[in-house]
Structure 1
Amino acid sequence: MSQTFTLAWRGLVQIKHNPEELLDLSIQPLMFVALFTYVFGGAISGSTGDYLTFALPGIIVQNALFASVTTGVGLNSDLTKGVYDRLRSLPISRAAPLAGRILADAVKQAWSITLILALGFALGFRVDNGPLGVLAAFALLLVFSLAASWIAVLVGLLASAPEKVQIFAFVVVFPLTFTSNVFVPTDTMPGWLQAWANVNPVTILADAVRGLLTADPSASLIGQSLLWAAAIAAVFAPLAIRTFKRRV
């Protein structure tokens, strides 16, 4: 645990020297919130305030999924630059570098969620369920993000360069989020797309977060989100760990 925390701290301290690492977790989500609210809000919901209430939880979910990809990018960068070769020569746990990377990225996730909520509050977003609702939404998002990060870890281990891990975000995560109800209600979609959107795990997670922040929390949606997280982790965590052992 001590080695894991030390390497997680390394992942956070290096932001001071490479602040661009936080750009994707800071500037991009803030642009999504501002642009979608003021450009599409009136057309979709009739007013920017109503759209912000609907879209902000979904944007938080989308950002959490994109942010999980940074785990794979950072892991691949360490592997290709020889960082793991140096760590392997030290008397530390082989799992500590990977666990430290995931823990550091979870802290970055929390920072990003806080930043989006802060902008949302400044634009008029209000939480109806108080601090407990916010904490529950934080916990659900972090649990799902940690599960999704195992997919990014596997891709990061298999890819030959960090840029190829980023391609994964656009090939898989991008269409997954845009075929959900993150930005628009599913009843505006064609019937065939509604069928997919309604079972899309991103839709389920977005609705669960909306319930925790702005409506009556749904135990069913929260449970389904946790089941999806457990299923993703059950499939991809063993594959990622086996690949990690072979490569490191």
Structure 2
Amino acid sequence: MLYDIWTVFWRDWLVLRRRIGRFILSRMVSPILYLVAFGWGLGRSIQVNQGSYLDFIVPGIIALNSMNISFISVGSPLNMSRLYHKTLEEYLIAPIGSASFVIGKVLAGALRGLISSVIIIALAYAFGAHLTINVWFLLVLTLNCLVFASMALVAAMIMNSHEDMANFNTYVLLPMSFLCATFFVPDHLPVLLAWVIKILPLTHASHALRSISSGGSVPMTSIFMMVSYIALFISTGVWLMKKVRE
């Protein structure tokens, strides 16, 4: 099984390696705009918890970017290969188990999310942010990438058109991008809305990254919730793959 997972992962890594330069440059654009607009522009006039808004917002930007890159890296290509290019059929007839395929794809998507996050961290330091990066920070970041890579796989197997995938981004990812503690703490929102937001995976990632990067405690509840989301999405993805093979 490990060899099969590695085979699926290695195929996606070879594709990324050929485009690594363009991948890195393209992933620098949005973070730079966020850092300039919110860090240098708005951030200089705002203090949050006796610190700068730049230090507050960078963990949210990292969580947001790793969500988007991990999701896009798995969701759109897999949906296209299933519906239009029909290359998913190559995996279906190959002697590779459904679980191996799902885990390999999720790991490949998470790797892209991690690479883009390293770029943001480097840019944040260049912009003057103060962050504590340790093993717990990297663990939470990795879990966030795995959550949304596995969510993307489930979405790609369910959505039956490229337009449906775009609608999923609009109705699911876009609201989370702005509401899940990325740019502000959702505590002052209406109670029901705040409760819904607090159970979403990106909220837990933003909260955990922000707490750890500022030298605070490690929120084990958030880590548990993210692991639960990963288990749910991966098990659902395996079930969907087995259903396609029947």
Q: TM-score range by the shorter chain?
A: 0.7 to 0.9
Match of 2:12 in 1: 11
Aligned-residue identity in percent: 23
Structure 1: runs of 5 or more not aligned: none
Name the residue aligned to 1:114.
Answer: 118
Deviation by residue 1:121-160 (Cα, 9 ceiling, x = unmatched): 1001123x4xxx4332111121233133332211100112
Q: 1:89 aligned to 2:86?
A: no
What is the TM-score when the length of structure 1 is the normalising length? 0.81
Alignment: residue pair count? 238
**Runs of at least 5 residues in structure 2 that lack an aligned partner in the other structure:** none
- The CA deviation at 1:25 is 4.2
Q: Alpha carbons of 1:163 and 1:122: their partners in 2 closer, same or farther (altered >3 Å)?
A: farther
State how far apart, in whole Å, the 1-side matches of 2:210 and 2:242 are: 39
- In 2, are the aligned partners of 1:76 and 1:159 still within 8 Å (CA)? yes
Equivalent residue in structure 2 for 1:74, among 77, 88, 91: 77
Name the aligned partner's letter for residue 79 of structure 2: N
Given the two structures, how large is their TM-score scaled by the length of structure 2? 0.82
The equivalent of 2:234 in structure 1 is: 237
Structure 2 CA distance, aligned partners of 1:104 and 1:199?
26
Q: How big is each residue's C-alpha offset from its partner over 1:7-65, in whole Å with a ceiling of 9 and x where there is no partner?
A: 2122122135556666764433333233322333235439xx81110000011111122
Letter in 1 for 2:230: A
Q: Secondary structure at the match of 2:236?
A: helix
Letter in 2 for 1:210: R
What is the CA RMSD across the aligned residues, in angstroms? Answer: 2.8
Structure 1 CA distance for aligned equivalents of residues 107 and 90 of structure 2: 20
Residue in 2 that maps onto 1:227: 224
Structure 1 pair 167–202 and aligned structure 2 pair: CA distance change class (3 A): same
- Aligned partners of 1:22 and 1:97: how far apart in 2? 26
